[in-house]
Homo-oligomer: A and B are copies of this chain.
Amino acid sequence: MRISELSRRSGVPNATIKYYLREGLLPPGRATAQTQAEYDDSHLRRLRLIRALTGVRGLSVAAAKQVLDTIAEEDQTDTHHVLGLVFGVWPSGSSKPETADGQVPVECPETDALVDAMGWTVSTYNPARQVIDRTLETLRSLGMEQDWRSLLPYAELAARTARLDLDQLETLKDPLEKAERAVLLTFVLEPALMALRRLAQEDESIVRYGESPSLAALQPGRRRADEHE
């Protein structure tokens, strides 16, 4: 297909596609004339993945390129590896741990103990490791006595969440499509999962401490429907 059709089918503007081509995020099409090239479905899939990485969770174009390059270097039929690369990417928006450029794994003794206790297999280069050690440090500096053991019940729930995540990838055949879906599920779903926790916290708080009259007044829903004129 021509670039115009690629644009139409992907929903990505012509100029943006050209920018991705210049930056090397999208491989060049098959040249059919001096100024024309043919693109195929692999370009379409790749565009969707770029869109997922940049548009959805706000990775910079440079960071997205790094992910794509790494995926491209690997055997794409190795699903676990493709997924591992995607899962290992930390979103630029959040507190970003240093990535293992120098390939020196950071010491994360508490995470290691937790991972061990859970029986998990986790690469020492997974940037999520550092987040856990740092969070525990922060909590302790704020006067909470927490160590990795206090995270064990949370880890158990995280394992179940991960199973739900991977379930949703099972039906997809193409590894790049799996990667795209994994990006969406991991990054896009994150705020919704944290939002679910907040809603559940409010409900659990009501269950334990009772509903305050002032808060009840803030809940139209069924209660207020009864009083409705």
Contacts and interface: CB of A to CB of B under 8 A. Distances in A.
Contact of A192 (B84, B131, B153, B198): B131
Interface residues of A, number: 87
Contact of A198 (B87, B163, B204): B87
A4 interface: no
Number of copies: 2
Interface stretch (A19-27, A34-42, A215-223): A215-223
Given A80-B206, A80-B210, A206-B80, A162 B201 contact: yes
B157 A192 contact: no
A102 interface: no
Contact of A166 (B138, B151, B198, B205): B205
A174 interface: no
Contact of A188 (B124, B142, B154, B205): B142
A199 B155 CA distance: 9
Contact of A161 (B138, B144, B200, B221): B200
Contacts of A205: 79-80, 83-84, 87, 166
A80 B36 CA distance: 65
Contacts of A129: 195, 199
A32 interface: no
Q: Is the interface of A mostly helix, strand, loop or mixed?
A: helix
Given A81-B214, A184-B142, A212-B81, A190 B196 contact: no
Contacts of A161: 154, 157, 197, 200
B215 A135 contact: no
Given A88-B198, A157-B160, A193-B197, 5 more contacts: A75-B212, A81-B214, A84-B202, A131-B191, A159-B203
